Amino acid sequence: MKIYDEGEWTVKKHSTHEKRRVWRKLYLEADINTYEIILLS
């Protein structure tokens, strides 16, 4: 799964470097009984 941050898809698509990229760590938790994904940040 690829998640694009604000402005990141524009950089990828148009090769513009006008906006500085900010990377964030994403923590996910999954319930194996219900196959439900819980987002933790």
Taking the domains of the chain in order of start, what are their residue ranges?
8-40
Q: What is the pTM of this model?
A: 0.31
Q: Give, in order, the Cα–Cα distances in Å from 15 to each of 23, 31, 32.
A: 18, 38, 39
Partners of 31 in the beta sheet?
36
Residue 11 has a CB neighbour count (10 Å cut-off) of 16
Residue 30: CB partners within 8 Å, gap ≥ 6?
A: 36, 37, 38
Per-residue tens of pLDDT for the chain, all 41 residues: 667 666 666 666 655 555 666 777 888 888 889 888 887 77
